[in-house]
């Protein structure tokens, strides 16, 4: 059985307070979390906090005999999905490089057969120092996975590279790391969200798409090992960890961004609710109100998905069909018309803007209904299906 235990190592740094939130996210996702603190970490976070969040004892001492065989440094590394050190201070990284084992956490790092991930956290000059950079390179060469650091404001008042990743990003990175990788080495381009077609400088045509499904697919494709580029219309969503995002507003900008990147991609997933029409002559000045009725002349936009699917070097294309009635019939028709191997059909009223979705996957083999579930779960099932169809060629 796949282990569901994570050992969360915490070393001395102000970012240690974020480890509490990370532990909470892991526990909420169903992992058992064993926290191991260095002596320095205890100056920043209390064992009681972590014990309360994880519901498990917190370890600090190499001589702690509370584990079954009395040897915490051996026992904690067994049946463990991963050992994540967050924050990993500069000094601890140096220690790891030399294989020193003078406390519980550093000894555990040597006596383990699970993957080791570290989230560096330090002042920007400490991170940029050649010694730390040498250590980071050596740790990567030794098979350690580095998560971050990020750039931004630091506790010392300076700004630069060295901040620990936020807890939510570490959670996403760790869970992605632990997933099977059916899309390894593949490049996936995803469109998401609505487009906005200007009428004048302050008005435009748009739709109710929130971007949630496209973003959830980006998360799952990245977790499945793909290199993911997300071309996004205006949304309120944060860029998923590890995903490259290109922001656009109009349908023609989305088309240009997709055409600019598609040649490098094996899979294209068109989730965006692209405007089918745009105002024929957007005004450069605000339109003034009069008493007369007004007619807005619209002109069709390019169907991005159909255009990509028609290329001689077309990637594996996936479309979405949001329909208000005769969902399956319209979606099946759309799949054939656009010439794509897979379409995801759903009822627009139940899906647009919602956190949950019900959908049916339609491919050359037939229909595959997916029960209503959060979009994050639906997205994982869609990615599994895509990986399966893609692998069959
Ligand atoms: N799509 C696209 N470019 C467009 C319009 C749609 O890439 N200009 C993609 C969507 O991202 C989706 C699929 O085509 O994957 C279906 O979009 P939808 O709007 O439901 O279908 P249409 O072909 O536009 O048909 P209709 O609006 O008549 O239902």
pLDDT at 147: 97
What pLDDT was estimated at residue 155?
81
> Which ligand 1 atom is nearest residue 319's CA?
15
Rounded mean pLDDT of 304-318?
A: 97
Higher local confidence (pLDDT), 155 or 224: 224
The catalytic residue positions are 156
Closest residue to atom 24 of ligand 1, CA basis: 276
Among 50-59, 62-71, 238-247, 324-333, where is mean pLDDT lowest?
62-71
Residue 144 Cβ contacting ligand 1 at under 6 Å: no
83 or 3, greater pLDDT: 83
Q: What is the pLDDT of residue 160?
A: 87
Model confidence at 157, in pLDDT bands (50, 70, 90)? confident
pLDDT of residue 158: 82
Distance CA 25, CA 43 (A): 23
For ligand 1, is residue 274 a contact (CB within 6 Å)?
yes
Average pLDDT of every residue of the chain: 95
Nearest alpha-carbon partner for 11 in 133, 126, 129, 96: 96
Peptide bond into 149 cis (omega under 30): yes
In the reported structure, the alpha carbon of residue 298 is separated from the centroid of ligand 1 by a whole-number distance in angstroms of 17
Cis peptide before 109 (omega within 30 of 0): no
In ligand 1, the atom with minimum distance to the C-alpha of 271 is 11
pLDDT of 280 strictly over 90: yes
Mutation to probe ligand 1, out of 272, 299, 308, 382 (largest number of atoms < 8 A from CB)? 272
Could you tell me which CATH number the domain at 187-280+295-391 has? Answer: 3.40.50.10300
For CA atoms 115, 240, 140, 11, give the dihedral sign.
negative
Percentage of the chain with pLDDT > 70?
A: 99
Is pLDDT of 282 > 90? yes
SS3 assignment, position 207: coil
Q: Do domains 5-178 and 187-280+295-391 have the same CATH topology?
A: yes
Average pLDDT over residues 189-213: 97
> What is the domain partition of the chain in residue ranges?
5-178, 187-280+295-391
**pLDDT over threshold 90, residue 276:** yes
Calpha distance 177→246 (Å, rounded): 24
Q: Is 303 in the pocket of ligand 1 (CB under 6 A)?
A: yes
Ligand 1 pocket, 272 CB below 6 A? yes
Q: What is the pLDDT of residue 351?
A: 86
Query: Any idea how long the chain is?
Result: 393
Arithmetic mean of pLDDT, 206-231: 96
What residue spans of 29-65 are helical by DSSP H? 47-54
Quote the pLDDT of residue 70. 79
Identify whether the C-beta of residue 45 lies closer than 8 Å to the C-beta of residue 10: yes
**Residue 320's pLDDT is what?**
97
Q: Which residue has the tokens 């600090």?
A: 60
Average pLDDT on 212-223 reads 95
> How far is the centre of ligand 1, averaged over its atoms, from the C-alpha of 319 (Å)?
8
CATH architecture for segment(s) 5-178: 3-Layer(aba) Sandwich (3.40)
- For atom 16 of ligand 1, the residue with the nearest CA is 321
Q: What is the pTM assigned to this prediction?
A: 0.86
Alpha carbon of 262 to ligand 1 centroid (Å)? 18
- What's the gap in Å between 26 CA and the centre of ligand 1? 38
* Ligand 1 centroid distance, CA of 274 (Å): 6
pLDDT tens for 337-355 read 999 999 999 999 888 878 8
- Which pLDDT does position 72 carry in this prediction? 80
Q: Residue 169 pLDDT > 70, yes or no?
A: yes
* Local confidence band at 1 (pLDDT 50, 70, 90 cut-offs): low
Q: How much of the chain is helix, strand and coil, in % rounded to 5?
A: 35, 25, 40
């Amino acid at each position: 059985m796949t282990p569901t235990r994570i050992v969360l190592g915490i070393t001395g740094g102000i970012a240690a307070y974020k480890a509490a939130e990370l532990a909470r996210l892991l526990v909420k996702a169903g992992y058992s979390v064993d926290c191991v603190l260095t002596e320095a970490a205890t100056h920043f976070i209390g064992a009681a906090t972590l014990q309360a969040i994880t519901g498990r004892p917190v370890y600090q001492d190499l001589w702690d005999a509370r584990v079954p065989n009395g040897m915490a440094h051996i026992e904690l590394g067994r049946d463990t999905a991963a050992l994540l050190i967050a924050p990993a201070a500069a000094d601890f990284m140096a220690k790891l490089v030399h294989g020193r084992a003078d406390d519980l956490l550093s000894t555990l790092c040597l006596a383990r057969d699970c993957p080791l991930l570290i989230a560096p956290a330090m002042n920007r000059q400490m991170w940029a120092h050649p010694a730390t950079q040498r250590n980071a390179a050596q740790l990567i060469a030794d098979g350690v996975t580095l998560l971050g650091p990020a750039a931004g404001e630091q506790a010392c008042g300076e700004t630069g590279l060295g901040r620990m990743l936020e807890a939510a990003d570490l959670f996403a990175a760790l869970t992605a790391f632990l997933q099977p990788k059916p899309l390894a080495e593949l490049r996936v381009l995803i469109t998401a969200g609505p487009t906005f077609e200007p009428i004048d400088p302050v008005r435009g045509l748009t739709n109710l798409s929130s971007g949630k499904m496209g973003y959830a697919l980006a998360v799952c494709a990245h977790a499945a090992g793909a290199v993911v580029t997300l071309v996004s219309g205006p949304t309120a969503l944060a860029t998923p960890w590890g995903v490259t995002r290109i922001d656009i507003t109009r349908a023609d900008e989305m088309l240009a961004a997709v055409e600019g990147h598609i040649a490098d991609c094996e899979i294209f997933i068109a989730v965006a609710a692209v405007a089918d029409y745009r105002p024929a002559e957007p005004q450069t000045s605000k339109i003034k109100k009069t008493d007369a009725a007004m007619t807005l002349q619209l002109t069709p936009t390019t169907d991005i998905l159909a255009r990509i699917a028609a290329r001689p070097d077309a990637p594996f294309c996936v479309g979405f069909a949001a329909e208000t009635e005769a969902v399956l019939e319209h979606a099946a028709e759309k799949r054939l018309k656009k010439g794509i191997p897979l379409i995801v059909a759903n009822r627009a009223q139940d899906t647009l803007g919602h956190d949950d979705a019900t959908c049916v996957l339609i491919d050359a083999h037939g229909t595959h209904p997916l029960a209503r579930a959060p979009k994050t779960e639906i997205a994982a099932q869609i990615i599994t299906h895509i990986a399966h169809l893609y692998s069959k060629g």
